Amino acid sequence: MHPYFSLQGRTALVTGGTRGIGKMIAKAFLEAGATVYVCARDGEACAQTAAELSAFGTCHGMAANLASEEGVQTLAAQLAEKIDCLDILVNNAGTTWGAPLESYPAKGWEKVMQLNVTSVFTCIQQLLPLLRKAGNAASPARVINIGSVAGITSHGEDAYAYGPSKAALHQLSRMLARELVGQHINVNVIAPGRFPSKMTQFIAQDEAAMAEDCALIPMQRWGREDEMAALAISLASTAGAFMTGTIIPIDGGFHL
């Protein structure tokens, strides 16, 4: 791997790292030379993922419930016992909720906002000491928040809280990028379109639905794992050292 994109000697945490986009990014970071911690609510899934990804580098699993402030605080405390600094934080954990407009429940709205916005803020807040120790002028620490083109477009698919939650995350990321740049911490957003994940498997498993979905994408296909991996490595490596406050759609042109 070219030195511009090497993550050798870096330590990363990927929330929601046991499947989908989080797992893609965790694997990519390992291949680039980083030590990676993946966390999710399911401790068994964390252990299984860490064992699987250890074929590509040093990977550890940590069970964590990010749906509450206490859960995030526990994760931060446990991580601080294991590492001295955190070079890369990927806030990927998220959720959605779909229902017709007339019956969309308040509990669905609250759950989506809590995990997609509030818990991301709390993760950054609680992990700031480790991020500050990692960052310097030559190589800032990196926060990569996983937003969505749903936060850019108006294509809602009855998931009324999801798009607004991602739009809020995009704005939060810009605010934090401005505030933390002087502390040598970069904050950027990857805003994916369609990629294989648990959230999208109901489409991928239906041939007609898949064809209809791809017809809405200018490139006429979903994103691939290597494409997500390459973008994430770029933001985490020298390639992203002079970038902060950016929101990068990776969606085959869907946001157009």
Q: Environment class of residue 239 by beta-carbon count within 10 Å: exposed (0-12), middle (13-18) or buried (19+)?
A: middle
Question: Closest by alpha carbon to 93, among 116, 109, 72, 74?
Answer: 116
- Active-site annotation holds for 162: yes
Work out whether the CA dihedral 47, 49, 55, 57 comes out positive or negative. Answer: negative
Give 24's contacts (C-beta < 8 A, 6+ positions apart).
Answer: 195, 225, 228, 229, 232
Q: Provide the CB-side half-sphere exposure for 101 (13 A, CA).
A: 2
Cβ burial, residue 142 (10 Å; 0-12/13-18/19+): buried
SS3 assignment, position 38: strand
Decide: helix, strand or coil at residue 25. Answer: helix
Which pair of structure tokens corresponds to residue 19?
A: 């499947």
Q: What gap in Å lies between CA 64 and CA 39, rounded to an integer?
A: 6
Nearest to 91, CA basis, from 180, 172, 154: 172
Catalytic residue numbers, as ranges: 162
